[in-house]
Amino acid sequence: VFSDERAMHFCIEVEVALAAAQAECGIIPLEAAQTIAACCKLELIDWQRMKSETEVVGYPILPLVHQLVPMCGDAGRYVHWGATTQDIMDSALVLQLREAIQLLERDLKKVRASLQKLASEHRDTVMAGRTHLQQALPVSFGLKAAIWLGMLDRQHQRLQELKPRLLVGQFAGAAGTLASLGSKGLMVQEALMEELSLGVPTTPWHVARDNLGEVVNWLGLLTGSLGKIALDVILMASTEVAELAEPFVKGRGASSTMPQKRNPISSELMLAAAKAVRQHAGLMLDAMVQDLERATGPWHAEWIAIPQSFMLSAGALHQAAFMLEGLEVDSKRMRQNLDLTKGLIVAEAVMMGLAPYLGRQQAHDLVFEACRACHQQGGMLFDHLYAQASIRELLSESQCRALTDPTQYLGSTGDMVDRALAASRALDD
C-alpha cells in the first residue's frame, strides 16, 4: 500500500478523478477528461526520471504531471487543472489509508475471533491472578482473555468512529481558497469527492492535521493493547510459570546455542512494534503544529510516521493473529501454580467468610495469624486455620475447606466473561 508504485497509482487516480469532476462541472471538455482517463497509465512512468526530478523539486507531483501531460496529447493541457501538489498528495494518502485500514481490519477481526474463542473455552479455567507480579486472588484464564478482547473491541469501535473524520479528501487550491476555479470551486470539490467515494471537507485541512494525528494515535492505542497481550504471554510463558506457550513451529523461537529454547517470538515482535508506533504517535502530534497556510517541515514528518506506523501495526496484528489462534494453554500448570501458596491465595475469601461472625478486623487478625504460621511452619492454610478453636466453633470442616478452595472464590468472573463475549459478538453483527 505504501510502496512508491502504489502511492503514484493513487495520485494518478486522483488526477483522473479531478479531470472527470471538472468535465462534469463544465470546467474542461469532456473529451479531454476521457482522454486523461484512458492515457494516464502507471506502467508508462519512467521511475528513474521520477526519482531524479523529485529529488530536485522536493515533491513527486510536479514530476508526475511532467510525465502525465505528454501521455495525454492535446488533452494534457487540462491535467492537474486548478489543483495544488498537496491536494493530490493528501487525497491520494487518504485512498492509501482506506486500503491500509481494510487490511488492518481483516487481521483485527481474526485476533478478536481468537480471543472470543479463548474466553469462551476457558471461561472456568481457574488460575492465579497476579498483582505486582505476586499471586493475589484466583481468576479464570477466560476472564484474562475477555479483558484482552475488550481492549481490541474498543479499538474496533474507535476505528469505526474515526473513519468518517479520516476518509475525507482534499481539494482547495494553492492557499485553500479554490480561487483558480472561480465560482465553481466547491462544485468541483464535491464532484471530485464523489468520484473518489470520499467525504467532502468542510474546510481545507492542508495545515489542520488532526485527522492524521488521530489515526496514527489510534494505531498507538491498537499496538499498545497488543503489547499488553504480548507482555502477559511473555511472562506466562516463562519457564517458572509455564502456563502458556506460543504455537509450536519447528525452529521458531530457537536459540543458536541452546537447543532447549522456545522463545515467545511473536509476542516479542508485537511488543517491539508497540514501542515504535508510540514514538510515531508522538511525532504526529508534534507535526500537527503547522505554520500558516502551508507547513514547512511538519508535513514532511508525516511521510515518515504514517507509513511506518501502519506497517508496524500490520506486522503486530499479523503476529497476534498467528500467536493467539494457536496459543497453547496449560490448565494443569495453572492449577499447580494456583496451589503453590498452599491456600494463601484465598486468604481474603476466608476473612470475608469469617467477617459476618467476628467482624472484619478480628477476622483479618485471625487469618493473618494463620497465614504467618503457614509461612513459618509450612503446611496448608486450612490446617492452620482449623487448628484454631475459635474458628472450629464457627465453621464446620467442610465449610472451612470450601472457604480455602480457590475455585469457589471467583466472584462474578463467569458472568463478566459472558457479558464481554455478548458485547463483542454484537459488534460483529
Residues designated as active site? 132, 255
C-alpha cell at 268: 516479542
Q: At what angle do helices 210-236 and 141-166 cross, to 10 degrees?
A: 170
* C-alpha span between 155 and 112 (Å, rounded): 11
Closest by alpha carbon to 2, among 341, 240, 313? 313
The helix (run of H) or strand (run of E) holding residue 129 is strand 126-131
Q: How far is Cα 335 from Cα 127, in angstroms, rounded to an integer?
A: 6
Q: Among 1, 189, 179, 156, which residue's Cα sits nearest to residue 87?
A: 189
- Residue 301 contacts residue 286 (beta carbons within 8 Å): yes
Spatial CA neighbour of 422 closest among 130, 173, 120, 39: 120
Q: Rounded to an integer, what distance in angstroms lies between the CA atom of residue 22 and that of residue 19?
A: 5
CB 374 within 8 A of CB 359: no
Query: What's the chain's length in residues?
Result: 429
